[in-house]
Structures are given as structure tokens and as C-alpha cells.
Amino acid sequence: MPFMGKLLGFVFGFLLLKLPGAILGLIAGHMFDKGMSNDFSRSGGFGRFFADNERLQSSAIFFHALFACLGHIAKADGAVTQSEINVALKLMDDMQLNENDRREAQQAFREGKDPQFPLEHILKDLKHDLHGQRIILQAFLEMLIEASFADGQLSVSEVEVLDKVAIGLGFGHKDLDRLIRKFEAELRFRQRQDAFSQARDEARSRAQEQANAWRDKAQQQYTRAPQYSDKQRLTDAYRILNVAPTADEKTLKRAYKKAMNEHHPDKLIAKGLPKQAMELAKVKAQDIQAAYELIKSTRP
């Protein structure tokens, strides 16, 4: 009964506050009826695992759109590879989805693979439900870019789909290109840090008898890792912050604060990013922090 909310709101409002209460109750009841009448099936049922009812609809649509777009991008260049499936599964793990929610995510992924998938409609709904908040929409686009690198590179077809997503969310071609180049820099940055950390940890375990022996071992393994010069690493650090190497201290600090504001998990959640995506946002924030510290360490 699509009018039940308005009826009950009017009655109880009138009983409590007479005519003013009836008017307020009618408005509240209308909002309730409108919410109940929405076709929640388009959200893939993800709303079950959100405790914050105020954000339930937007959160559910966010995740349905995310996994559906992942499926659409994976299918863009033909057959879906195992690495692309693994990326989607890892995303489910990172978000700690239970068995039922994983099924919903898998269904959204399958919907995205359909040639008739209504990409523009899904993006329009997402943009509307997030009130066009650019920071959250950018986070959504960055998640798709990162997932699209499952096999180490982007195909022409994948870039074309990402371009459609970017346009649908209100971004331009240059914005997409900048975000892709930024992620490539982040990827190189992370891989180099991981290579050194692994070498350091292995050396520590084999050289417990000498306090400083791990450094020598780590350095040896560090030099055997794929070549990625300090100059390249510094260039990538500037790219992550989206600032020129010639930038002065004031400009650098402003770029750092802007990047952190766009990717800090707490701020993103406050603006509407579902909490389940917080771990993904943390990685971005860590990259930004590491890039800033590297740049600062090279300046007098």
C-alpha cells in the first residue's frame, strides 16, 4: 500500500500536534512511502549488511554498481580472465562480505558481463544517490582503474569502458588519463617498497646473530630486484601528489593536503563512502604519505 506511510503519519501527527503535526506527519509519511516504493532490486540486495539505515540505499547502489562495472570492464576485451575474477574475489574478501553478500556481488558481476548491461543508467543512479559528490565518485572510479590492472596492463577496450564510466560520473578524458598515470605510479611505488620490505625481512630472519647484518643482506637483494631508479621513484612520488618537481614548499604541502583530503578514509566515509571500502582507501592514503615523505627527504 504505497499511501500507508502518509496515512499513518497524518493520523499520528494530528493526534500529537493537531494540524501542524498532521502536516509534518504527512511529509514524513510521504518520504517513507517513496523509500519503500523504490525498486531496491537494482541495488543487488547489498543493503542487508549496512547498519546505518540513513545510508543504506546509497551504500547498496554503490556496491552493486562497483561489481557490475567490474564485470562490464572484464568482459570488454572478450573472455573474462581468471586474474580478473580473482580481483573481484579479493575485493569481496577485503570488504569482508559474508556468503549471501558474496552471491549478490557475483550476481552483480554477471549482470555487468551482459552485452545489454545499462551502464549509463547505473552510473546515473549512482551519481544521483551520491548527490554528485566528486570525491566519492573519484574513489569509485579509482577502484575500477585499480581492478582493471589485474593482468598488469589496460587494453584499449578496457580504457574505452573506463572512459564511458568517467564521462558518466562527470569526469573528463584528461581526468581519467591523470588518474590512470597516477595509479601506474602508485603501483611501481608499492612494488618497490614491497621488494625492499621482503628482502629486509628475509635478511633479518637469517642474520639474527648480528644486529646489522640484515641491512647488508637487504641491500644485496634490493640491488637484484627489478631496476627502478631513485630518480624514477621520486618522479612517481611527484605524480602521486599531482605536483611538479619544481613546486615550492607551499605548493607541495598544499598538494599533499589536497591528496589526503581526497583519499583519507575517515573523510571519505564522512562524505558517504561505505565503511566496507575503508581498507581500499587506506592503501591510497599510505601511498600519498610515503610519496610526500620521500619528496621531503630529498629536499634541503
DSSP output for 212-239: THHHHHHHHHHHHSPP--HHHHHHHHHH
**Cα–Cα distance, 168 to 117 (Å, whole number):** 14
**Model pLDDT, residue 17:** 52
> Around Cβ 241, how many Cβ atoms within 10 Å?
26
**pLDDT at residue 39, as a whole number:** 44
Which stretches in the chain have pLDDT values below 70?
1-58, 192-228, 276, 280
Dist CA 75 CA 223 (whole Å): 39
Q: Can you tell me the distance from the alpha carbon of 147 to that of 9, in angstroms, rounded to the nearest whole number?
A: 46
Taking only the tens place, the pLDDT of each residue in 145-154 is 988 887 778 8
pLDDT of residue 253: 94
Hey, where are the domains in the chain? Answer: 4-37, 43-170, 180-297
CB 84 within 8 A of CB 74: yes
Give the pLDDT confidence score for residue 181 in this predicted structure. 92
Secondary structure class of 44 (helix, strand, coil): coil
Stated pTM of the model: 0.62
What is the average pLDDT score of the chain?
76
**pLDDT in the model for residue 249:** 94
Please say whether the beta carbons of 102 and 60 come within 8 A: no
Question: Burial, 86: exposed, middle or buried (Cβ in 10 Å; 0-12, 13-18, 19+)?
Answer: exposed
Q: What is the pLDDT of residue 113?
A: 94
Summarised one tens digit per residue, pLDDT across range 112-140 is: 999 999 999 999 999 988 888 898 899 89
pLDDT at 196: 44
